[in-house]
Amino acid sequence: MRIDISGHQIDVTPALRDYVQDKLARVARHFDHHLETRVVLSVDKLDQKAEATLSTPGKTLHAEAVAPDMYAAIDLLADKLDRLVIKQKEKMTDHHRGESAARSDSFG
């Protein structure tokens, strides 16, 4: 997984960069193939904001999180991205392959 981290009105320190990479590593375990993620960390008055755009095959996912602390915003962002990726992965799998009453010969 390739992660491009940039800051808007904030310096992205090596500690922040490592924290983002560690948190988003759990998102990468859902896919076997190459993912590209763009993360933007920004400060707006007292709010710390983290937003990410994740390019998956066939779909681009976007999430953002706002918190009083940048590390908390990154945690929230990782949770949101994880849920989005799981939801997208479930949509990609075919749920109509299982047994159903309409496909079987006996109806009761």
What CATH number is attached to the domain comprising 50?
A: 3.30.160.100
Which pLDDT value is given to residue 99? Answer: 52
Q: In what order do the strands lie in the sheet with 2-8?
A: 2-8, 36-44, 47-56, 59-67
The answer as to whether 104 is a domain residue is no
What confidence category does residue 107 fall into, taking pLDDT thresholds of 50, 70 and 90?
low
Q: pLDDT (tens digit, 9 = 90+) per residue, 29-70?
A: 877 777 889 999 999 888 999 999 998 777 899 999 999 999
* Structural contact between residues 9 and 40, judged by C-beta atoms closer than 8 angstroms: no
* Structural contact between residues 1 and 25, judged by C-beta atoms closer than 8 angstroms: yes
Which pLDDT value is given to residue 93? Answer: 73
Spell out the alpha helix ranges (H) of the chain: 14-28, 70-92
Q: How many percent of the chain have pLDDT more than 70?
A: 85
Structure tokens at 12: 């992205």
**Residue 96 pLDDT > 80:** no
Domain with 7 in it = 2-92
Number of structural domains found in the chain: 1
